[in-house]
Amino acid sequence: MTFQATEAYAKELDQRDPLASFREEFYIQPGTIYMDGNSLGLCSKRAEAAVLELLESWKRYGIDGWTEGKYPWFYLSEELGAKMAPLIGAKPEEVIATGSTTVNIHQLVSTFYRPEGRKTKIMADELNFPTDIYALKSQLRLHGYDPDTHLIRIKSRDGRTIDESDIIQAMDEDVALILLPTVLYRSGQLLDIERLTKEAHQRGIIIGFDACHSIGSVPHRFSEWGVDFAVWCTYKYLNSGPGSVAGLYVNEKHFGTTPGLAGWFGSRKDKQFDMDHEMEHADTAGAYQMGTPHVLSVAPLIGSLEIFREAGMDRIREKSLAITRYLMQLIESELRGFGFAIGNPMEDHRRGGHVCLEHEEAARICKALKEQRVIPDFRAPNVIRLAPVALYTSYQEVWEMVQRLKMIMTEQTYKKFKNERGVVA
Ligand SMILES: *Cc1c(COP(=O)(O)O)cnc(C)c1O
């Protein structure tokens, strides 16, 4: 089938979409086109049911809910870790559901950043998400280093992407640890994780990835590539709700490494309730948990991951690439001459799950889109992120969204808004 900018073509694509039926699993507001699943995924009926199930176990069992009920709380973090493992290509015991992205960065950097001799620096990139940088700077300060001299941030050549060869070039003898995103949150660039890991290891550098913008959208093979550690949230493409419990991965070669930030839930499960003051930490990724798991906030993940198991990461990636490609084709054919630029890399192996649409007036175009019941995502100064999500966005919605955007640009209705962001952009 060759691309056509017609609604009939969009409908045809929907008919051929093997994942189309999953849309019914989600709460979708009629008439609203949701393009922000890369910031906060939509609620599914199964996620809702899992929350209710865990509330029920609390009502029914009280304290015994730790070991009774459909999902005993005591083992839940490990079980959900095992269920997330296929999404990133890891072994079940290498993954645990715990903490938040920021907390997990602190945990794993404090575990694996071991400055020694000349090797004292941490490397990241200048387009990185702020919280990752704040965490790295504070970790350096805790070790008595000045972030201005000890945090290396790889520069972008074009303001959108980071060149892998620039990262590799900077892997000097003084670098102890690298933390990079899998997919850059603004431009959607997918880094070559395998290559970067190999190059870091050749130089004796520990390398970890923040997979917030790829988990549930791009499959990985972290174990096979030997990635040392990774973190991610579960509320973006994993659809587990605002503030849902995050995930972390530690390669099995590091099992036994003493957690930087220890807490009793990192204990061996059979020893935890011995209440001994000498901690015997788990010999799995479970060792990097701290306190009591946030059971009610991890609950939606139970339902959500069932959907991922049924849909399969390969099919999800295939649709994600197809529907984002379709969106880019529509942008090129329908929005020509309005001053838009596509800011994400075009090649499939270099892009994640969203399209980065740039425009000088992006802030107020987003407001006009919201008025037209399209939910985009604005990132200052000029980026409109649009994420048609494999599990719940239809091709027809993408088509309709572009029509609404075209109307906004033709009639210049965006001009009635101020070109500045809201409190939560
Ligand atoms: C979403 C996101 C975060 C969010 O971290 P929280 O601790 O959940 O607030 C961090 N880093 C990146 C790269 C993200 O995309």
How do residues 132-152 score in pLDDT, each as one tens digit?
Answer: 999 999 999 999 999 999 999
Q: How many other CB atoms are found less than 10 A from the CB of residue 250? A: 29
Q: Say if residues 248 and 284 touch (Cβ distance below 8 Å).
A: no
Q: How far is CA 8 from the centre of its chain?
A: 33
CA angle 403, 409, 412 (to 5 degrees): 135
Q: Which of 289, 271, 288, 291 is nearest to 279 (CA)?
A: 271
**pLDDT band at 419, cuts 50/70/90?**
confident
- Which of 106, 108, 212 has the most ligand 1 atoms within 8 A of CB, as the residue to mutate? 212
pLDDT at 157 over 80: yes
Amino acid at 41: G
Express each pLDDT in 297-340 by its tens digit.
999 999 999 999 999 999 999 999 999 999 999 999 999 999 99
Express each pLDDT in 63-113 by its tens digit.
999 999 999 999 999 999 999 999 999 999 999 999 999 999 999 999 999
**Residue whose CA is at the smallest distance from ligand 1 atom 2:** 212
Token representation of residue 17: 């979409």
- H or E stretch at 97: strand 95-97
Mean pLDDT score, 171-177 = 97
pLDDT at 228 over 90: yes
Q: What pLDDT does 422 receive?
A: 79
Q: What pLDDT does 378 receive?
A: 92
Which domains are delineated in the chain? Answer: 7-30+312-414 (3.90.1150.10), 49-310 (3.40.640.10)
Separation between Cα atoms, residue 122 and residue 139, nearest integer Å: 10
Q: Say if residues 232 and 212 touch (Cβ distance below 8 Å).
A: yes
Phi, then psi, of 37 in degrees rounded to 5: -65, -15
Separation between Cα atoms, residue 262 and residue 359, nearest integer Å: 46
Separation between Cα atoms, residue 367 and residue 73, nearest integer Å: 42
Separation between Cα atoms, residue 168 and residue 154, nearest integer Å: 10
Q: What pLDDT does 421 receive?
A: 80
Separation between Cα atoms, residue 371 and residue 413, nearest integer Å: 10
Phi, then psi, of 26 in degrees rounded to 5: -110, 155
Amino acid at 27: Y
Write the CA distances from 265 to 62, 183, 257, 346, 384, integer angstroms.
Answer: 20, 30, 16, 44, 41
- Which of 102, 187, 356 has the most ligand 1 atoms within 8 A of CB, as the residue to mutate? 102
pLDDT at 232 over 80: yes
Task: Provide the residue count of the chain.
Answer: 425
Cis peptide before 345 (omega within 30 of 0): no
pLDDT at 348 over 90: yes
**Which residues approach ligand 1 with their CB closer than 6 A?**
100-102, 129, 131-132, 181, 185, 210, 212-213, 233
Token representation of residue 393: 């966005």
Express each pLDDT in 179-190 by its tens digit.
999 999 999 999
Token representation of residue 180: 């990079």
Residue 159 gets which letter from DSSP? Answer: S
Binding site membership for pyridoxal 5'-phosphate: which residues?
A: 101-102, 129-132, 210, 213, 235, 264, 292
Mean pLDDT score, 360-366 = 96
Q: At 172, is the secondary structure helix, strand, or coil?
A: coil
Separation between Cα atoms, residue 331 and residue 342, nearest integer Å: 8
Q: Say if residues 290 and 107 touch (Cβ distance below 8 Å).
A: yes
Q: What pLDDT does 424 receive?
A: 77
Q: What pLDDT does 1 receive?
A: 82
**Residue whose CA is at the smallest distance from ligand 1 atom 15:** 212
Separation between Cα atoms, residue 399 and residue 425, nearest integer Å: 24
CA angle 359, 369, 333 (to 5 degrees): 60
Amino acid at 177: L
pTM recorded for the entire structure: 0.97
Q: What is the DSSP string of 101-131?
A: HHHHHHHHHHHH---BTTB-EEEEETTS-HH
Express each pLDDT in 4-59 by its tens digit.
999 999 999 999 999 999 999 999 999 999 999 999 999 999 999 999 999 999 99
Q: How many other CB atoms are found less than 10 A from the CB of residue 191? A: 22
Residue 423, classified by CB atoms within 10 Å of its CB into exposed (0-12), middle (13-18) or buried (19+), is exposed
Separation between Cα atoms, residue 296 and residue 59, nearest integer Å: 13
Binding site membership: which residues?
A: 101-102, 129-132, 210, 213, 235, 264, 292
What is the residue-averaged pLDDT of the chain?
97
Q: How many other CB atoms are found less than 10 A from the CB of residue 90? A: 26
Q: Which of 136, 298, 173, 308 is nearest to 233 (CA)?
A: 298
Separation between Cα atoms, residue 190 and residue 31, nearest integer Å: 32
